[in-house]
Amino acid sequence: MLLFLIRRLLLAIPALFGLMVLTFVLVRVVPADPAATLAGETASRQQIEEIRKKYGFDRPLYEQFGIYVGQVVSGDLGNSVFSNRPVAADVRRTLPATIELIFSALLLATLLGIPLGTLAAVRHNGVLDHTVRIATVGGLAVASFWFAIMLQLLFSMELEWLPLRGRIGVNIGAPANVTGFFLIDSLLAGRWDQFVSSLRHIALPAITLAVPALATIARFARAGVLDTLQRDFVQYETAVGYPHRRIVWIYVLRNSVIAAVTQIGLLFGALVSSAVAVEAIFDWPGLGSYAVQAILASDYKAVLAVTLVVGVIYALINILVDLVHGLLDPRVAEQL
Amino acid sequence: MTRFTRLALAGALALGLAAPVPSSAQADKNVLVWGDTLPAGLDPHAIFDVPMQFILLNMYDTLYRYSGNPPVLQPWLASGHNVSEDGLTWTFKLVPGVKFHDGSPMTASDVVYSFRRLLGMKRGPAGAFLPVLKPENVTAPDAETVRFVLDKPYAPFLAAIPLVAIVSQKQLEANVKDNDFGSAWLSANGAGSGAYRLDPASYRPREALDLIRNKDHFKGWSDNPKPIDLVRSRPVAETSTRVLALMRGEIDATDSYLPTDQVERVEKNARTRVARDESMRIFIIRMNNKKPPFDNANARKCFAQAFNYEGFNQVILKGYVDRNPGPNPRNLWGNPPNLAGYKYDLAAAKASCDKAKAEGAKLDRELEIHIQSELEQTSQAAQMFQADLQKVGIKMKIVPSTWAQITSATGKPETSPDLWIHWVSTYFVDPENWIGQMYDSQFFGTWKASSYYSNSAVDELLRKARSTSTQAERDKLYQDATTRVVADSPDIWVYNTIQLRGLNKRVQGYKFSPVGGGGDLRWMSLSE
């Protein structure tokens, strides 16, 4: 298992390097001049050229890339060409908000999706099964920005149950930063008001993100359970009189959720991209919102940093999924 | 009660769903929640855009300052100024007793430092001064006097003075790292003397910023008996969310670019209103005058006559804009009286196109118009224009782009698109900000002069206006230049903006000025 982990981590390095090359080239071939952005709106052509020289934008692209890789290897993501702040500080500030949102959505999707899929399979071709199938198709088809606005209109504007936007109440203030996750930091600080406010604020964006993920997980769980229910050991356990619930929720489920777990790993990547729209609508101050601002401002160092960080997280999640696979299925563990 | 119902209820209680949530702004009656955009950083010498005006107006003071609409330039940190007869030496006398937020006194040395810092960094608003002012020519003959010696006469110099925030030399010099002029520090801190001071602990870039009233501000507070003590700036990025947040009372003010289709909605809400103020911000469709077919005057006229001004301004934008027939805002001096501009007339457009074709202009290729994807109006204008051009036999493709890409592409005539759309806002209140920098060929390569229009007579008039000291004479020169530019039709000038800001009705004393867009907090109060 340890060897597997080391091997996968080493394999991730060339993948991340490839990602850096691709992103660097893409960001720099886009016809947006960082020197012009940096010089500002009243700048003359001469001023722009001076800025280009000062910041090294006049050097060949491979040279600029070499300097950038050197900085990244030494742990420096550089300064934003626009705000002059260290990009790493901006990523540290915004990443926890996105991770907290995605994990909340995945948790919600998993906790609801697996039981729903299982129930649908157990009551195969029944009313519940048909309902779940129709609902999951709907969940996959619905556009997240539309669904988000509908949730805002219903729960914030009409019923006034939940806040419309933001991460925490304006007059409550953020909890002292320990992990960056407001739900955890507020509990660590013993601030119940901050915890409740954070929970209320995350509810609607997390539900918006969770719906398509829930649909995917439910469909895979249903298919897995249906397949397992046909296996000999289920018939044997039923014949010897094991309680039906025990068979379904312990033995069948354990043998059925492997595909769903793989999906959860893949969903993480999908949720990172969906989070961009959801963060914009709910004004969630995460990495997605930061990336959009960086792209619009041609802040190429910020764009590179976001891509690299998301790439690293994606690689780690995939490794984690493989490890969980091994834990769930000893046959897989032997192959690792 | 079934198990499921119990579970659902428990979940609802955990989220606190059972009780309605009071809106944030209402929860504290003495706090203003400002929902307008924040700049990328807080250094007023590094960034110069519309959001930075909010920081400049509230956290900093300037030698002179604009207020009112139309904006009037008034002495602020300076008690007055005088200019030498040759127009080169400008001397400003400072108001005594001004203190920075850290309690240290402001002296002429801080003013000199601020201008030298700006000129040294060569960013933000520096472009307005670099062609005429060297850092060493800003001096302080004594603690209350600042002297500027210009390289050549530059009449708009005073108009550009409010662009420069006066920062504390002591605070900045203590925070310089790697010769960065203290910019990294100032991007997240304040070093000014303005009516509001930053609470640095509250600042999260582009996300949150709290401003606390500076009770010791040098102007005092006698003109506002109930000023707001705490302002929480909480920008809302998405338009739909911003409007809903205002209607729900989570924020007290939107930005001042409320989409016209949202105006009615906001006005119908019992809690909110819309402040409408004519600004100085021109919507323009640019044409690359160096590239065929736009190097032909009749071809340009054809396009100017094929744009449906009434349809766009009155129908699509519901009349919440004013037709602007020329390059200067219609409410600014320097415009010829009764300037008519071009009218939508497809028959006339076709005739102009035919003339252009007869002169050899090639109008048969598919042209490209670059829009700013994130700004819906640019797309609406392009789509309407595309349909009308088709009627006169011209094919036009709409290309999505961003402001950064457009300003980069327009750096050279060879890389400039055929057409592109943008606004020109009020950087300083002088025709130099519009016609002066848009149509004098010496500015080629900048986004303002990106249509690459060249007319030696116009160049001469604009240069003369720049170096002439009396406004009456400058007015005549700009009028003459405007008449010539409009006759040549280098661009399509569509409208002057009416700025629309959604406000909670409890916000009182809101004063709009085209400079700053109404973000000056010192006049505002909150009703009970």
pLDDT for A150-165, tens place per residue? 999 999 999 999 999 9
Distance of CA A197 to the CA centre of its chain: 22
C-alpha A191/C-alpha A183 separation (Å) is 10
Residue range(s) in chain B whose domain bears CATH number 3.40.190.10: 31-223+506-526
Q: How many CB pairs under 8 A join A and B?
A: 185
Nearest Cα residue in chain B from A174: B202
Taking CA–CA distances from A35, the nearest residue in chain B reads: B408
Nearest chain B CA: its distance from A94 CA (Å): 10
DSSP-derived 3-state class of residue B383: helix
Neighbour-count burial of B476, counting CB atoms closer than 10 A to its CB (0-12 exposed, 13-18 middle, 19+ buried): middle
For chain B, positions 308-327, list CB contacts with chain A under 8 A: none
Burial of B457 (0-12, 13-18, 19+ CB in 10 A): exposed
User: What mean pLDDT do residues B158-185 have?
Assistant: 94
Q: What integer pLDDT is reported at residue A23 of this predicted model?
A: 83
Chain A residue with the nearest C-alpha to that of B49: A41
Backbone phi and psi for residue B498, each to the nearest 5 degrees, phi listed first: -100, 115
Supply the mean pLDDT for chain B: 92
Q: Is the pLDDT of residue A56 over 50?
A: yes
> By C-alpha distance, which of B501, B504, B502 is closest to B29?
B504
Q: Which residues contact B235 (CB under 8 A, 6 or more apart)?
A: B35, B36, B37, B38, B206, B207
CA distance B311 to A196: 50
The structural architecture, per CATH, of the domain B31-223+506-526 is: 3-Layer(aba) Sandwich (3.40)
pTM above 0.90, yes or no: no
Nearest to B148 by CA among B75, B109, B92: B92
Closest CA in chain B for residue A204: B15
Q: What is the pLDDT of residues B368-427, one digit of tens each?
A: 999 998 888 999 999 999 999 999 999 999 999 988 889 888 888 999 999 999 999 988
Tokens standing for residue B403:
């402001």
* Long-range contacts from B379-388, C-beta under 8 angstroms, 24+ separation: B380/B312, B380/B316, B381/B283, B381/B285, B381/B312, B381/B316, B381/B421, B381/B494, B382/B421, B384/B308, B384/B311, B384/B312, B384/B316, B385/B285, B385/B306, B385/B307, B385/B308, B388/B306, B388/B307, B388/B308, B388/B344, B388/B346
Read off the pLDDT of residues B491-520 as tens digits, 9 standing for 90 and up: 999 999 999 999 999 999 999 999 888 899
Task: Read off the pLDDT of each residue in B288-309 and give the average, rounded to a whole number.
Answer: 97
Per-residue pLDDT at A334 = 66
Contact A169 B445 (CB under 8 A): no
Whether residues B446 and A79 touch (CB distance < 8 A) is answered with no
Structure tokens given for B373:
């994807």
Task: Tell me the average pLDDT across B199-208.
Answer: 91
What pLDDT score was predicted for residue B393?
Answer: 94
Distance in Å, alpha carbon of B124 to nearest chain A alpha carbon: 5
Contact B405 A31 (CB under 8 A): yes
**Closest residue of A to B247, CA-based?**
A157
Percent of chain A with pLDDT over 90: 38
Any A CB within 8 A of B46 CB: yes
* Mean pLDDT value of segment B174-180: 91
Distances in Å between the Cα of B149 and the Cα atoms of B78, B88, B154 are 17, 6, 11
- Asked if the model's pLDDT at residue B17 lies above 60, the reply is no
Q: Which residue has the higher pLDDT, A25 or A1?
A: A25
Cα gap A128→A135, rounded to integer Å = 10
Q: Which two tokens stand for residue A258?
A: 């492997």
| Residue B235 near residue B38, CB atoms below 8 Å | yes
CB proximity list for B84: less than 8 A, separation 6 or greater: B90
Mean pLDDT for B154-166 is 96
Interface membership of B203 toward A (CB under 8 Å) = no
Test B374 with A160 for CB contact under 8 angstroms: no
Pair A234, A255: CB distance under 8 Å: no
B233 lies within 8 A of chain A by CB: no
Would the CB atoms of A42 and B124 count as touching at under 8 Å?
yes
**HEC secondary structure over chain A:** CHHHHHHHHHHHHHHHHHHHHHHHHHHHHCCCCHHHHHHCCCCCHHHHHHHHHHCCCCCCHHHHHHHHHHHHHCCCCCECCCCCCEHHHHHHHHHHHHHHHHHHHHHHHHHHHHHHHHHHHHCCCCHHHHHHHHHHHHHHHCCHHHHHHHHHHHHHHHCCCCCCCCCCCCCCCCCCCCCCCHHHHHHHCCCHHHHHHHHHHHHHHHHHHHHHHHHHHHHHHHHHHHHHHCCHHHHHHHHCCCCHHHHHHHHHHHHHCHHHHHHHHHHHHHHHHHHHHHHHHCCCCCHHHHHHHHHHCCCHHHHHHHHHHHHHHHHHHHHHHHHHHHHHCHHHHHHC
pLDDT band at B13; cut points 50, 70, 90? low
Q: Which residues of chain A does B202 touch, with a Cβ-Cβ cutoff of 8 Å? A: 173
The owner of tokens 């505002």 is: B524
Which chain A positions have a beta carbon within 8 Å of B43's beta carbon?
Answer: 84
Structure confidence by residue, pLDDT tens digits, A253-295: 888 887 777 788 788 888 888 899 999 999 999 999 999 888 8
Confidence of residue B15 (pLDDT cuts 50, 70, 90): low
Rounded to an integer, what distance in angstroms lies between the CA atom of residue B491 and that of residue B503?
35
Farthest CA pair distance, chain B: 91
Looking at residues A38-55, what average pLDDT do you find? 78
- Mean residue pLDDT of chain A comes to 87
Q: Pick from A32, A196, A281: which is nearest to B241 by CB?
A: A281
Supply the pLDDT for residue A278: 94
pLDDT > 50? residue A95: yes
Q: Do B446 and A44 touch (CB under 8 A)?
A: yes
Please tell me the least confidently modeled range out of A53-57, A171-175, A182-186, B491-495. A53-57
Lowest mean pLDDT among A262-266, B54-58, B119-123, B360-364: A262-266
Q: Which of B40, B234, B238 sits opposite A281 (nearest CB)?
A: B238
Q: Per-residue confidence at B18, pLDDT binned at 50, 70, 90? A: very low
Taking the Cβ of residue B221 and every Cβ of chain A, the question of whether any pair is shorter than 8 Å is answered with: no
- Give residue B1's pLDDT: 47
* From-to residues of CATH 3.10.105.10 in chain B: 280-497
Q: Which among B204, B404, B446 is the nearest to A298, CB-wise? A: B404
Query: Which amino acid is present at B437?
Result: Q
Q: Facing residues of B230 across strands?
A: B31, B212
How many angstroms separate the CA atoms of A198 and A167, rounded?
6
- Contact assignment for B245 to A289 by CB distance below 8 Å: no
Coil, strand or helix at B122:
coil
CATH superfamily of B280-497: Dipeptide-binding Protein; Domain 3 (3.10.105.10)
Residues 388..407 of B with a Cβ closer than 8 Å to A: which? 402-405, 407
Predicted confidence at residue A84, as pLDDT, reads 77
Residue A335 — pLDDT band, cuts 50, 70, 90? low
Compute the average pLDDT of residues A327-334. 71
What do you get for the CA distance between the two ends of chain A, in Å? 6
A-proximal residues of B, 102-131, CB under 8 Å? 122-128, 130-131
Q: How far apart are CA B110 and CA B124, in angstroms?
A: 19
Tell me how far CA of residue B46 lies from CA of B41, B159, B183, in angstroms.
8, 20, 7
Q: What is the 3-state secondary structure (H, E, C) of B136-204?
A: HHEEEEECCEEEEECCCCCCCHHHHHHHCCCCCHHHHHCCCCCCCCCHHHHCCCCCCCCCEEEEEEEEE
Tokens standing for residue B29: 């009656």
Task: List CB contacts (< 8 A) between A285 and chain B.
Answer: 204, 207-208
- pLDDT tens digits, one per residue of B232-269: 999 998 888 999 999 999 999 999 989 888 999 999 99
> Quick check: B5 pLDDT over 60?
no
Better-scored residue on pLDDT, B510 or A77? B510
Quote the CA–CA distance of B490 and B498 in Å, as a whole number: 24
Q: ipTM, 2 decimals?
A: 0.80
Per-residue confidence band for B193, with pLDDT thresholds at 50, 70 and 90: very high
Residue A83 pLDDT > 80, yes or no? no
Share of chain B above pLDDT 70, in %: 95
Average pLDDT over residues A15-43: 78
Residue of B130, B245, B447 with shortest CB distance to A165 = B245
Lowest mean pLDDT among A309-313, B357-361, B379-383: A309-313
Return the C-alpha torsion angle B69, B266, A296, B165, nearest 10: 30
* pLDDT (average), residues B206-227: 95
Residue entry with tokens 């996750």: A181
- Specify the residue for token string 């409408």: B276
Tell me which CATH code domain A91-335 carries: 1.10.3720.10
Pairing of strands B145-149, B196-204: unpaired
